[in-house]
Amino acid sequence: MPGACPAPRARSTDAPRRCSPDVAKVWHVNQTATANAEEFGFHEGDLVQEWLWDDDVDDSIRAGIEDLTGEDLVDEDYGSAVDGVIIWWRDGDDEDELSGVIVDAYAVLGQDGPLWVLTPKPGRPGAADPNTVQSAAKTAGMNAATPLTVNADWNGVRLRAFGKGR
């Protein structure tokens, strides 16, 4: 239900709670990002580039994006412009490297398409300190949004160049 918020743990009524559209949208993204890759902002026909892939990435996220776009993900060696980017980031990777990857990924991103940094959730192996992504984004000249739940094991942070929308 649009505008409906998740129910609190204890409720005395079955009527849906109402909340601001922004809160409802974040809740909706949190609930549907895995099943609906369009929540990432990708569309049919988009070419999405994947950076820092390793064998610990979540193949269901990758498959959801590929199913939506109808295109295979391309790796960081792809030499042309792309419509969107995902970067897999883990604790233990060098923060300066993340800043460099963000700059490199943004350079091939056409029309200010979606750029996401995906990190393991807190408590999962490889979980990164949220400040690491924020700091690397700032160093790279980007704004980092509030982390959103992508699925049970991964969070996503959308990045935008300073001065580019919300």
CATH match for 21-161 among 3.30.830.10, 3.40.50.300, 3.40.50.10490, 3.40.50.150: 3.40.50.150
Percent of the chain with pLDDT over 90: 54
pTM over 0.85, yes/no: no
What residue ranges do the domains of the chain occupy? Answer: 21-161
The CA distance from 27 to 50, in Å, is 26
- What are the angstrom distances between the C-alpha of 104 and each of 72, 109, 117, 131, 149? 20, 9, 13, 21, 25
Residues 6+ apart with CB under 8 A from 71: 45, 46, 47, 48
Directed axis angle between helix 130-139 and helix 95-107, to 10°? 50
Where are the strands (E) in 9-114, listed by range? 48-51, 74-75, 84-88
The CA distance from 16 to 158, in Å, is 29
Question: Which phi-psi region, left, alpha or beta, contains residue 52 (left: φ > 0; alpha: ψ -120 to 50)?
Answer: left
165 alpha carbon, distance to own chain's centre: 17
pLDDT in tens, 126-146: 998 878 899 999 999 999 988
Is the confidence at residue 85, as pLDDT, over 70? Answer: yes
Mean pLDDT calculated for residue range 53-58: 92
pLDDT of residue 165: 52
